[in-house]
Amino acid sequence: MAKKRIFSGIQPTGNIHLGNYLGAVKNWVDSQEEYENIFCVVNSHAITIKQDPKELHQKTYELAAILLACGIDTQKSHLFIQSQIDEHAALAWILDCNIPMGDMSRMTQFKDKSAKNPKNINVGLFNYPALMAADILLYQVDGVPVGEDQKQHLELTRDVAMRFNRDYGECFKIPEPLIPKVGARIMGLDNPESKMSKSSSGANHAIFLLDSPEAIMAKFKKATTDSHTTIVFDPTRAGLYNLLSIYEIFTHKSRESIEQEFAGKGYGQLKSAIAEVVIESLRPIRERYERLMGDEGYIREILAQGAQSVRPIASGTYERAKELVGLV
Ligand code: TRP
C-alpha cells in the first residue's frame, strides 16, 4: 500500500523553540517512515508581514538547516522552499478567482493579524489562505497536520477544492486534517498559563533550539513555579507541571519514577536536572546546525534537489487546473 502523502508548512520567521520542536518538528521527524512527507519553508507567506529582506533570506536558510539538524532526512522526505516553485503563486491566483469574498472575509486569522499590524493590512495578508490552499492542493496530499489556529484555513482549502472539482472537473485530492497528538503542549516558562510562543517578548519565556547551554540553564532557573514544596504531576500547578512534562518527554521516564526521583528535593534541584537533560538533548542538534551553516552551498544544493523532487507533482496539478479553467 502506498504511503500517505502529508504536507507541512512552516514560516521562516522568529526562532524555533522547544514548543515548536516538541509540538511539531519532532513529530515530523518521527513520521518519516510512516508517511511520504513534503516539508515546505513557506517564505512567501512570511512577506504578508513586513520583513527585512536580508534577514528573511538568512532566516529561510537557517530554518532549513534547523530542520535538517533536527533529523529531517532528504533521502526519505521532501524539503523545499515555497518561493522556488512558481506554481504556488500561480495556482493561488486561479483559486482566488474561485473563492467567494464572503468565505475569505470570515477568516479569523486575518482579523487577528490585521488588528496586530494596523499599519500594514495588505491584500496578501487577506489572501494568505488562498496561497496556503495552493501549497496543499498542488501536491495531491492525503493530509495536513493542523493546530487549532489553522483549522479554518484547511476547511477553506477543502471547500475551494471540492467546488473546483465539481465546477470544472476532477483536479484536486481533498486533504484531511491531521490533528496532532496531544501531550506536547509546552507552556511559556515565565507564564505557564499561556502556550510557548515565537512572538512573546519575555526574555525567559521560551527555550530556543539554538540557545547556548548557559542560556538554557539560566532560563530554567528563572522559570515560574509556586510556593508549594512537593514535586508531583499536578495540572493545577501549571509551572511545575510544565517543567515536569518537559522532563518526562526528554527522559522517557514514567511519572511515578520522576516523582520518586525528586521526592524530598527542592525546585532548585529539579530545575537544574531538567536544564541538564534539555541541554544534552539539544546539543547534537545545535552542533549539526553549526556544521550545516558552515557550508551554505551544501544547504542550497539540498534545497534545490528538494524543489526538483516536488516540481513535477506541482506542475502536473497546475497544468491540469489551467486546462480545466480554459487558460492556454
Ligand atoms: N499558515 C501556516 C502557519 O502559520 C503555515 C502554512 C503555510 C501551512 N502553508 C501551509 C501549513 C500549508 C500547512 C500547510 O502555521
DSSP 8-state code for residue 12: S
User: Residue 326 corresponds to which cell in the numbers above?
Assistant: 480554459
Over residues 104-127, the mean pLDDT reads 94
| Three-point CA angle 152, 155, 161, nearest 5° | 145
Q: Which range (93-107, 172-186, 301-315) has the least confidence?
A: 172-186
User: Residue 305 corresponds to which cell in the numbers above?
Assistant: 534537489
Give the distance (Å) from ligand 1 centre to CA of residue 102. 21
**Residue pLDDT, tens place only, 57-81:** 999 999 999 999 999 999 999 999 9
* C-beta 144 within 6 A of ligand 1: yes
pLDDT surpasses 90 at 198: no
Catalytic residue of the set 4, 173, 195, 322:
195
Residue 184's pLDDT is 63
pLDDT surpasses 90 at 177: yes
* C-beta 39 within 6 A of ligand 1: no
pLDDT category of residue 23 using cuts at 50, 70 and 90: confident
Amino acid at 161: A
CA dist 33 and 29 (Å) reads 9
* Residue 239: CB atoms within 10 Å: 19
Residue 148's pLDDT is 84
pLDDT category of residue 122 using cuts at 50, 70 and 90: very high
Dihedral (C-alpha) 314, 316, 321, 324: value to the nearest 10 degrees?
A: 180
Strands 176-178 and 4-10: unpaired
Residue 81's pLDDT is 98
pLDDT category of residue 201 using cuts at 50, 70 and 90: confident
Q: Which range (2-6, 86-90, 186-190, 197-201) has the least confidence?
A: 197-201
Residue 4's pLDDT is 97
Over residues 31-53, the mean pLDDT reads 97
Nearest-atom number in ligand 1 for the CA of 11 is 5
CA dist 218 and 196 (Å) reads 17
Residue 24's pLDDT is 87
Over residues 270-294, the mean pLDDT reads 97
* C-beta 38 within 6 A of ligand 1: no
* C-beta 9 within 6 A of ligand 1: yes
pLDDT category of residue 151 using cuts at 50, 70 and 90: very high
Q: Is 113 a catalytic residue?
A: yes
* C-beta 132 within 6 A of ligand 1: yes
Indicate which residue's Cα is closest to atom 6 of ligand 1: 9
Strands 176-178 and 78-81: unpaired
CA dist 156 and 278 (Å) reads 39
- Name the one residue in this structure whose C-alpha cell is 464572503: 102
* Residue 286: CB atoms within 10 Å: 18
pLDDT surpasses 90 at 236: yes
* C-beta 22 within 6 A of ligand 1: no
Over residues 252-281, the mean pLDDT reads 97
Strands 176-178 and 143-145: parallel
**Residue pLDDT, tens place only, 29-39:** 999 999 999 99
DSSP secondary structure of 50-68: ---HHHHHHHHHHHHHHHH
* C-beta 45 within 6 A of ligand 1: yes
Dihedral (C-alpha) 195, 196, 202, 208: value to the nearest 10 degrees?
A: 180
Q: What is the largest CA-CA distance in the chain?
A: 75
pLDDT category of residue 1 using cuts at 50, 70 and 90: confident
- Pocket test of ligand 1: the residue of 41, 45, 197 to mutate, having most ligand atoms within 8 Å of its CB, is 45
Domains in the chain, start-ordered, CATH in brackets? 5-184+296-324 (3.40.50.620), 213-290 (1.10.240.10)
Amino acid at 61: Y
What rounded mean pLDDT belongs to the chain?
95
pLDDT category of residue 141 using cuts at 50, 70 and 90: very high
- Pocket test of ligand 1: the residue of 135, 144, 156, 173 to mutate, having most ligand atoms within 8 Å of its CB, is 135
pLDDT surpasses 90 at 287: yes
pLDDT surpasses 70 at 263: yes
Give the distance (Å) from ligand 1 centre to CA of residue 220. 30
Residue 54's pLDDT is 97
Indicate which residue's Cα is closest to atom 3 of ligand 1: 10
- Name the one residue in this structure whose C-alpha cell is 516540481: 311
Residue 170's pLDDT is 98
- Which of 129, 95, 135, 149 shows the shortest CA–CA distance to 7? 135
pLDDT surpasses 60 at 183: no
Q: Is 173 a catalytic residue?
A: no
What stretches of the chain show up as alpha helix (H) in DSSP? 18-20, 26-30, 43-46, 53-70, 87-96, 101-105, 108-116, 123-137, 151-168, 213-221, 238-251, 255-261, 267-293, 296-325
Residue 75's pLDDT is 96
